[in-house]
């Protein structure tokens, strides 16, 4: 099975502009993400997909495979669809360009379900969180059914514990996705859904159109770089290390 890993790297991020090129101990964030993804032996190929000539030039200087994509894409999945038109694979993985703390375990959990049969079309990850983290809208929460398929994703702390009579477990969605080629084509053919637009969460487009998303559980959290405080924290965690 051919698996292509794609790291979308948009320079004009909203909450932390230019974050994929922010410095972490002498290297840009994107270099740390690429190095983390390379720890997985499951990828046939791994590339950065960007809409910025500056990002493209930095990647090439660091010998990181990278390709230019359209500036018109609304989300990472649309950027993957353009890459799919140039690179044939059975499975495409969408690796967020702001996740430098990824491990081989995360990627194994993301990709292994595709070897178990043809029923799995889309996969992602979740990890347990406490009430304080659940209240943070920067952490996307997910609720799953007994089969491990997503019921809903939200920035709200779901499930809502109305009576507070029983323990409630909440899970943070880790923003990695993998898709069979046909599922990625389907995503691109569908219009943005009402729930997707309300929550600003692209994965809800699949759920509104009846496409199941398998959610694997990991107890190893990641630290995505969404804010300046995230950047400071990641710099501390990566002190004394090098990506390349």
pLDDT for 165 equals 82
pLDDT at 12: 80
- pLDDT score for 110: 97
Whether the pTM exceeds 0.85: the reply is yes
* Residue 42 backbone phi and psi in degrees, to 5: -85, -20
Q: Which helix (H) or strand (E) holds 62?
A: none
* 69 contacts 50 by C-beta, under 8 angstroms: yes
* pLDDT score for 77: 84
What digits encode the pLDDT tens for the residues 139-170? 999 999 999 999 999 999 999 988 888 889 99
Q: Which domains does the chain have, with CATH numbers?
A: 3-236 (3.90.550.10)
- Other Cβ atoms within 10 Å of 217 Cβ, number: 12
pLDDT in tens, the chain (244 residues): 999 999 999 888 777 889 999 999 999 999 999 999 999 999 999 999 999 999 999 999 999 999 999 988 878 888 899 999 999 999 999 999 999 999 999 999 999 999 887 789 999 999 999 999 999 998 999 999 999 999 999 999 999 988 888 889 999 999 899 999 999 999 999 999 999 999 999 999 999 999 999 999 999 999 889 889 999 999 999 999 999 8
Longest Cα pair distance anywhere in the chain, in angstroms?
Answer: 57
146 Cβ contact list (under 8 Å, min separation 6): none
Q: How far is it, in rounded angstroms, from Cα 84 to Cα 74?
A: 16
Instruction: Give the contacts of 210 (CB within 8 A, at least 6 positions apart).
Output: none
CB 144 within 8 A of CB 151: yes
pLDDT tens digits, one per residue of 115-127: 887 789 999 999 9
Residue 189 token pair: 């053919």
Q: Tell me, what's the pLDDT at 166?
A: 80
pLDDT at 17: 86
């Amino acid at each position: 099975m051919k698996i292509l890993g794609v790291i979308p790297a948009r320079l004009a991020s909203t909450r932390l502009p230019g974050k994929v090129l922010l410095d972490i101990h002498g290297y840009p964030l994107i270099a740390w993400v690429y190095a983390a993804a390379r720890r997985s032996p499951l990828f046939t190929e791994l590339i950065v997909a960007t809409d910025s000539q500056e990002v493209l030039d930095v990647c090439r200087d660091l010998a990181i495979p990278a390709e230019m994509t359209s500036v018109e894409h609304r989300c990472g999945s649309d950027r993957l669809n353009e890459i799919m038109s140039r690179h044939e694979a059975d499975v495409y993985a969408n690796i967020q360009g702001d996740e430098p703390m990824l491990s081989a375990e995360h990627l194994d959990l993301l990709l292994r379900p595709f070897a178990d049969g043809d029923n799995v079309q889309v996969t992602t990850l979740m990890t347990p969180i406490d009430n304080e983290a659940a209240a943070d809208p920067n952490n996307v929460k997910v609720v799953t059914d007994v089969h491990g398929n997503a019921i809903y994703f939200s920035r709200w702390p779901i499930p809502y514990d109305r009576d507070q009579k029983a323990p409630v477990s909440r899970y943070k969605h880790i923003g990695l996705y993998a898709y069979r080629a046909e599922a990625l084509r389907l995503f691109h053919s569908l219009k943005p859904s009402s729930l997707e637009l309300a929550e600003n969460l692209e994965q809800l487009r699949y759920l509104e159109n009846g496409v199941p998303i398998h959610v694997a559980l990991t107890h190893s959290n990641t630290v995505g770089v969404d804010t300046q405080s995230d950047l400071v924290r990641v710099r501390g965690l990566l002190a004394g290390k090098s990506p390349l």
